[in-house]
Amino acid sequence: MNRMIFGALATALLLAGCGQPPPPPAPQKFAVQPGELLHFVPVAEKLVALSFDDGPSDPCTRQLLEVLAREQVHATFFIIGANAEKHPGLLKELVAAGHAVGSHSYSHPRFDQSTPAQIREQIVRNDAVLEKLTGKTPVLMRPPFGLYGPQYFEICRETGHIIAGWSASASDWNPHTPEEISGALLDQLAPGAIFLLHDGKETNDGPHRVASVQAVAQLIPQVKARGYRFVTIPELQAAAVAPPAVFAGGAQLLGVQWPERTAASKGVAIRMHWQLPAAFVRSSAHVWVTLAGAGGPFKFDCGLPHGGDVWKETETLKVPPPAFQPGSYAMSIALSRGNRNWRHLPCSGAWTRESKAAAVPQPFVVAPNRTVEASP
């Protein structure tokens, strides 16, 4: 904690100085260490990862395994230890089928309402259960409900766990049809995305996730038709390339994505996936998105993701399509810090434009009928 405070103070002093901060070094291959969050991976291929929480559960885990086997897709399952003890055969079956396993605590408590000792006990106890049943201790650890708790990052660093988040969710824990679930995930499809779904409901058996299973059966063929390949989260990590833009202060822009939208849509959600160091003060930063083209440029500003749990690391900017004339727009993203006098931070990487902004290679295209073409 002292090192975190010192890092934040050092960063603030640097950025408060008279001159601009120095340009960041050229980014290397994206990587995360134990105690850090993994929620999106910059990749050079059209790869995406399916992940499932709260299993193994009867009957939905078995139904899901049948769908995945039929589609020849491997996924990552975040296992609750108490459920694994009830259904050891299901756990061994999914491991034998080539799926990856991560930890989701022993009994699925809220970590934000737990003590550090309780959090550690949940993680360590689940590790013991999974090591006994699978022969391996998981490296990935996804907190129940996606919520952090006191000293959670420090505990995961000490226990050797990478914190597993996600970049795409359909809120399938709420009542939704399979079509609604699959459609919501398709809207968030991007190379390097991690999809969140469920094959169980906490520590309860029952047909709670039948709609999720049916949604996966619909989703996989549609994603494949767009040229994507499904991999496990460890395989996604292994395919990582350098972040396309790294800004002074350590903020990394990992990817940008937007879904196709028609003229009748109220707005287009431009989703920016960031990786932010613990010392980076989010409240004093602004993101500037510029769309240069017919009738433009159009400039929009928003804040950085406010963090707090694994849900809040992707920032969504909504822009109204009727504001644009048909045509192709070049998108650039700049990051600035300050109180009154905003200063753009230097950046480096494959998307860098004159060290001041990230130039997104995929154009933002508005067709004559004002349909916005989706990002790849």
Burial of 320 (0-12, 13-18, 19+ CB in 10 A): exposed
> Is the link from the previous residue into 191 a cis peptide, with omega within 30 of 0?
no
User: Among all chains, which residue has been given the structure tokens 């996600």?
Assistant: 166
Largest CA distance in the chain: 63
Query: Is 198 in the active site?
Result: yes
Taking the C-alpha atoms of residue 13 and residue 247, their distance in angstroms, rounded to an integer, is 17
Instruction: Name residue 101's beta-bridge partners.
Output: 77
State whether residue 268 is helix, strand or coil: strand
| Rg for the chain, CA atoms, rounded | 21
DSSP string, 169-195: E--TTS---HHHHHHHHHHT--TTEEE
Shortest CA distance to 138 belongs to which of 111, 167, 159, 112? 159
Taking the C-alpha atoms of residue 31 and residue 301, their distance in angstroms, rounded to an integer, is 28
Taking the C-alpha atoms of residue 67 and residue 76, their distance in angstroms, rounded to an integer, is 14
Please report, for residues 73, 110, 294, the alpha-carbon distance to residue 158 in angstroms, rounded to integers and kept in the order given.
Answer: 33, 20, 53
Q: What number of other Cβ atoms are within 10 A of residue 175's Cβ?
A: 8
Catalytic residue among 39, 53, 74, 127: 53
Catalytic residue among 198, 208, 273, 344: 198
State whether residue 64 is helix, strand or coil: helix
DSSP string, 208-254: TTHHHHHHHHHHHHHHHHTT-EEE-HHHHHHTB---SEEETTS-EEE
Query: Is 161 in the active site?
Result: no
Taking the C-alpha atoms of residue 358 and residue 369, their distance in angstroms, rounded to an integer, is 29
Taking the C-alpha atoms of residue 37 and residue 22, their distance in angstroms, rounded to an integer, is 26
List the catalytic residues: 53, 198
